[in-house]
Chains A and B, each alone.
Chain A
């Protein structure tokens, strides 16, 4: 049984849901089963957004058994093979889903919640966030994804495609780059720019 679970998190408007949709459509493209619930309450209103992406595929000769290959809409605690977080503090907030082998991709640009803005709470320093994340797993990879997109493409529109490239480079995704790019071509305008962004993500991650 091939089984790979990804938790994507971010803030409303950052594209966490779209990122999950690309990864799920890639599964349909390849004939894998995929499932995963989303938390979208408060989307576009500075609320927390998460997307569960759960790949499942029977290997040759395997017989379907719902007890042995369970796939509800939610990844259990400690169950994420990969986390992609578009915001640093949200990665830590969702640490509950990480295990010692999880691969974590974190965008380093902090988005300040209202509680911090009005001075009631403090946003933890990035170093603290990363140190704490490393207690969950050694596989924590922090990248300036916003900055990479802005510097290379003069906009923030490529952050998700860059993150996809990083996911492909650092994780053992059961979907191929070709499938992901084919979905990106169908879903987003300006495929050439997105292909470059994907390649940039891969290069940066492997760099």
Chain B
């Protein structure tokens, strides 16, 4: 049984931070869930979809984008059903329009917005601090520190949302979303509400003219009510101490801070743990800080709590120095070591010798190691497509990047990727740039999910402005980058269920793209010919659909084990000219170099090779041999 479905209050299970958020929603009798996948929050959606059997009444979906997902959750809330919408931090940019209005109109049933933030941008194109949105959206923010709080705060957020009539945000950084540890379960509700019903509320839902002004005032008053109640909610607490230097901290950084103080031997510092970082209560901050000599604020990114605390203390007439981003960087990710090192300097407290030794040795002995920058998986169709594009263009084009697995084409060996910012930055930026440059070939990339997320308007604009570009839609049928959530083009689910895929070609035709070609990426020579032809045409919007399912999902779907293959690819040593086309230019990890006494050779690692056949097709020396050892109706991998 899925441990998240256990109704055994008090029992401890192993859970990821994201699982704990799922469980928090269950304990709060959530009825509607929507999301657009994005690291680090993707597993929340997978969690709800995996619970369909145990909780069939909960609607859970991967929506087409965050804007649509947020609207869906708002609709469910207005129908009287507790709803949750989740996204990564940059998803908030897309959902922001909806959520600004959701603050004005308020909720009916609780509406909880979970944001997976990514300080350090380990899986993102940006590390923006979404908390600042709340200064104008008026949405309260809870910041859990631990896996346990991830569950407890999520459940609590529904209650606060209803009591104060505002959507409530739960902000969880990647190091909490992907923290795995003990979680003590609470009780599941005896009864889950059955369905919803819309009740008209024109003074709030018709957010127009003066009604909009009234709603604005209502939202701000709701925030002030919550601000007044903050000290009574139990979300913020003080770790008492007799020291004169105090600390304010939130989220995972609270636990890092406690550990850093312990490493420095500072065991008497008072610490105000902030569980709700917006709104903050002046009295609560003032009574903590009033008698202290100095207060450090330890938080990720841009000093949201520090900014508020300084203002609130000023208004309270308290002149305690508050130090935050002058000491702890406003960019990147904080951790125990960084906090301990900065506090060691500030407070003249030595780091333990165990730490200084490890840091010193590591700098000396491990500072010069070759980096690992990531690469396409073995058997990935994107690798084959990128190889064909690089060879067909000789990199003589402007390459308009976008967000997905194919973003890896900015790295060696391809390096055919000139920018990446937000979703739809490829065709979007390219069609504007083309008004200013002439005579350049422009090749834009977009994955299937990114295309449906927000790429269609950019393409329509490109068609209307008659931009001269080639758009390659890398249709691998899944949102692969974030862990293989379904995309609008998924045609067969992992369990074999037939889906209802969107017809990309029909869509392209209807928006006026007349030049559409399809390639099967593993057929390298044929793909190169199609790409060259599209470039040669030279005018208008030309779309090439590179159609091949993600190799990992294909493998999982047919549960293929290495012993099941009927095709083998081997490098014939006699014929191999060591020209490096397969090993370096294609860069497949299954092709390896072996040093031997009799001289080195390239070979294909059988246990790793997924039999895509790209190397076989591209080898100009016919040195990669294909052997079929038996025929079976199950078919073969790839084209």
Contact = CB atoms under 8 A, between A and B. Distances in A.
A41 B562 CA distance: 26
A21 B372 contact: no
A111 to B, nearest CB: 8
A47 B375 CA distance: 8
A115 B368 CA distance: 13
Interface stretch (A67-75, A163-171, A172-180, A191-199): A67-75
Interface string A107-123: 00000111111111111
Given A76-B355, A114-B373, A37 B147 contact: no
Interface in A32-82: 33-42, 44-48, 51, 54, 66-68, 70-74, 76-79
Contact of A156 (B178, B370, B589, B607): B607
B584 A118 contact: yes
A41 B123 contact: yes
Interface string B178-209: 11111000000000000000000000000000
Contacts of A72: 252, 255-256, 258-259, 336
B358 A47 contact: no
Interface stretch (B407-415, B420-428, B453-461): B407-415
Interface residues of B, number: 64
Interface string B337-368: 10010000000000010110111011001100
B552 A44 contact: yes
B634 interface: no
Contacts of B589: 46
Given A38-B180, A76-B259, A78-B357, A132 B366 contact: yes
A160 B411 CA distance: 30
A71 B337 CA distance: 13
A118 B478 CA distance: 30
A77 B255 contact: no
Contacts of B396: none
Contacts of B357: 78, 99-100
Contacts of B239: 66-67
B378 to A, nearest CB: 9
Interface string B441-452: 000000000000
A143 interface: no
Interface in B574-603: 583-584, 587, 589, 592-593
B39 interface: yes
A73 B369 contact: no
Given A35-B182, A72-B336, A117 B355 contact: no
Interface string B312-347: 000000000000000000000001110010000000
Given A36-B180, A45-B377, A74-B336, A24 B14 contact: yes
Given A68-B262, A96-B362, A155 B562 contact: yes
B207 to A, nearest CB: 39
Contact of A37 (B12, B14, B175, B377): B175
Given A34-B181, A46-B589, A114 B175 contact: no
Contacts, number: 185
A136 B182 CA distance: 31
B179 A114 contact: no
B358 A136 contact: yes
A89 interface: yes
A183 B479 CA distance: 31
Contacts of A66: 239, 258
Contacts of B515: none
Nearest to A46: B375
Nearest to A94: B366
B256 A33 contact: no
A47 B413 CA distance: 16
Contacts of A203: none
A45 B178 contact: no
B416 interface: no
B584 A95 contact: no
Given A28-B182, A155-B607, A114 B122 contact: no
Given A72-B252, A117-B587, A156-B607, A47 B372 contact: yes
A35 B147 contact: yes
Contact of A113 (B146, B147, B174, B372): B372
Contacts of A112: 592-593
A124 interface: yes
Contacts of A79: 354-355
B405 A45 contact: yes
A16 interface: no
A70 B176 CA distance: 16
A109 to B, nearest CB: 11
A36 B255 CA distance: 12
Contact of A73 (B13, B252, B361, B370): B252
A121 B122 contact: no
A132 B363 CA distance: 12
A119 B370 CA distance: 11
A16 to B, nearest CB: 12
A106 interface: no
Contact of B358 (A42, A89, A98, A120): A98
B633 interface: no
B122 A41 contact: yes
A206 B122 CA distance: 39
A74 B146 CA distance: 12
A110 to B, nearest CB: 11
Given A36-B181, A39-B178, 20 more contacts: A38-B178, A42-B372, A45-B408, A46-B373, A46-B375, A66-B258, A68-B262, A72-B336, A73-B175, A77-B337, A78-B359, A89-B370, A92-B365, A95-B361, A95-B366, A113-B370, A113-B371, A118-B412, A118-B587, A155-B562
14 contacts: A24-B180, A37-B176, A38-B178, A41-B123, A45-B375, A45-B377, A45-B408, A72-B256, A89-B369, A93-B366, A96-B366, A114-B587, A118-B412, A121-B370
Interface of A: 11, 13, 20-21, 24-25, 27-28, 31, 33-42, 44-48, 51, 54, 66-68, 70-74, 76-79, 89, 92-100, 112-124, 132, 135-136, 155-156
